[in-house]
Amino acid sequence: MATQIVIANKESITIDGNYFIYWADKGNSLPIVPDTVHFVIWNNLPGQNEVQNKNASTGNMTGNVILNSTSDIVYGSTTVADLLTWAETRKGEIETARTAEAADTADPKWTDENPYPANKSWRDYDSNYS
């Protein structure tokens, strides 16, 4: 299971401080993050672990909820632990798809006469891509 996660709603997700996922690459199993959540922070950096909330209409901040434990609710019934488990799973899915793409591009069937399709990427190998 991942130990850290920072979710910038509709922008990106950082796992364990160094694994970056663009929002478009979050996959289809991330628990829904409501528009009233601006950031979810659970890491070991200075500062609070918290959910930063906002008004979905105006974008103005409406307050923070401090997170003290992985069993704390982030939103709805989703806990910090749920997000950490999702993060580790998603990281594995992406890496598996990248490995599959790399293996395909190294396949000897791709030659100058039969070039590897330039428009393919790991996303084409990821059945969990959203």
Per-residue model confidence (pLDDT) at position 22: 97
Q: List, for the chain, all residue ranges whose pLDDT scores fall below the cut of 70.
A: none
Per-residue model confidence (pLDDT) at position 103: 87
Instruction: List Cβ neighbours of 77 (8 Å cut-off, separation of 6 or more).
Output: none
With residue 84 as reference, give the H or E element that holds it: helix 80-105
Per-residue model confidence (pLDDT) at position 16: 97
Per-residue model confidence (pLDDT) at position 117: 77
pLDDT in tens, 44-81: 999 999 999 999 999 999 999 999 999 999 999 999 99
Per-residue model confidence (pLDDT) at position 110: 77
Reading the block at residue 96, the tokens are 């598996």
Q: DSSP 3-state helix, strand, coil percentages of the chain (rounded to 5)? A: 25, 25, 50
Tell how far CA 75 is from the center of its chain. 16
